């Protein structure tokens, strides 16, 4: 378990009666966020793309602990599949209160070598996927309105961005462009729907140890180099992000609208300037 029931209890956040959809939740940050939301009492739809088994295993962990969860396969870049996964969520739990648009991938290449397919694949999942899911969520939140006693908001959307929405990243222009896009998607949407009490925010993780960066994090030399970029001196853990997502999903952050919360150990502080410049 990533963020255990005790740790969630200590945060004193309750999401009982609320329903959350977390995309890309079969592993990494998505799985940790799904587990934390479930531990706080939310019913969780664990979306996955291709890894049904770990998604099912996560669902079992949640239900074994007394929570409610289902697994739902869908490619977030496909309009029809997104509609289907939202319908599944409603069928299972009757409503939706929280969307964590988390699915994301990297297809790294030097700029001149980057194929159109590598570009499109990343934009399709990381940016179009977040658009399609957020649109479906807004439509559902509008149908529901504010449900007194459940949450002060009519719905909460959390976009999973990255420090690379602000830090340029050579060799990863597709990824950085997608996350830069997420920033203005999130803020423009937040501005558009705030009056309806729909809260839209983002989380920008730095280097969190997951499969997406295991090649770097698990290699002692590359890890050493990576740590030079992190003033706080450690690689992030999934629960560092899960705690932030839990807070953003709850009424504890009710006045937080259109903000990106950086969870990065200070990666955005230009650490190379400590003894330089």
Catalytic residues: 175
Name the region of 13 (left: φ>0; alpha: ψ -120 to 50; beta: rest).
Answer: beta
CB 222 within 8 A of CB 135: no
CB 103 within 8 A of CB 129: yes
Closest separation between CB of residue 163 and ligand BGC, Å?
6
Determine the residue with CB nearest ligand BGC.
Answer: 162
Query: What's the CA gap between 56 and 69, in Å, rounded?
Result: 9
The residue (of 30 and 206) whose beta carbon lies closer to ligand BGC is 206
The residue (of 136 and 212) whose beta carbon lies closer to ligand BGC is 212
The residue (of 212 and 249) whose beta carbon lies closer to ligand BGC is 212
Closest separation between CB of residue 234 and ligand BGC, Å?
13
The residue (of 46 and 163) whose beta carbon lies closer to ligand BGC is 163
Distances in Å between the Cα of 159 and the Cα atoms of 177, 183, 263 are: 15, 9, 13
Closest separation between CB of residue 213 and ligand BGC, Å?
4
Burial 256-275 (b: 16+ CB within 10 A, else e): ebbbbbbbbbebbeebeeee
What is the DSSP pairing of strand 98-101 with strand 69-73? unpaired
Closest separation between CB of residue 225 and ligand BGC, Å?
11
The residue (of 31 and 85) whose beta carbon lies closer to ligand BGC is 31
Q: Write out the residues near ligand BGC by the rule CB under 6 A.
A: 106, 162-164, 206-207, 212-213
Query: What's the CA gap between 224 and 226, in Å, rounded?
Result: 5
The DSSP result for 2-61, as a single string, is -S-HHHHHHHT---TT-EEEETT-SSHHHHHHHHHHHHTT-EEEEEESS-HHHHHHHHHH
Closest separation between CB of residue 46 and ligand BGC, Å?
20
């Amino acid at each position: 378990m990533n963020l255990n029931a005790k740790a969630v209890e200590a945060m004193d956040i309750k999401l009982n009666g609320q329903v959350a959809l977390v995309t890309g939740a079969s592993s990494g940050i998505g799985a940790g966020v799904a587990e934390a939301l479930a531990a706080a009492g939310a019913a969780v739809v664990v979306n996955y793309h291709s890894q049904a088994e770990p998604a099912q295993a996560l669902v079992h962990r949640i239900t074994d602990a007394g929570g409610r969860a289902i697994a739902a396969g869908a490619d977030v870049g496909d309009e029809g599949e997104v509609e289907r996964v939202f319908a599944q969520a409603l069928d299972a739990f009757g409503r939706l209160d929280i969307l964590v648009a988390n699915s994301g991938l990297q297809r790294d290449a030097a700029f001149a070598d980057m194929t159109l397919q590598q570009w499109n694949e990343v934009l399709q999942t990381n940016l179009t996927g977040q658009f399609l899911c957020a649109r479906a969520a807004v439509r559902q939140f509008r149908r529901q309105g504010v449900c007194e006693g459940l949450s002060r908001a009519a719905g909460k959307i959390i976009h999973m961005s990255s420090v690379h929405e602000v830090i340029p990243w050579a060799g990863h222009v597709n990824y950085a462009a997608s996350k830069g896009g997420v920033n203005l998607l999130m803020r423009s949407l937040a501005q558009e729907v705030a009056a309806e009490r729909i809260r839209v925010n983002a989380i920008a993780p730095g280097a969190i140890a997951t499969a997406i960066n295991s090649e770097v994090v698990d290699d002692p030399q590359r890890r050493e180099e990576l740590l030079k970029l992190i003033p706080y001196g450690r690689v992030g853990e999934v629960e560092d992000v899960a705690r932030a997502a839990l807070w953003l999903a709850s009424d504890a952050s009710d006045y937080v609208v259109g903000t990106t919360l950086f969870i990065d150990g200070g990666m955005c502080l230009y650490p190379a300037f400590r003894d330089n410049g």
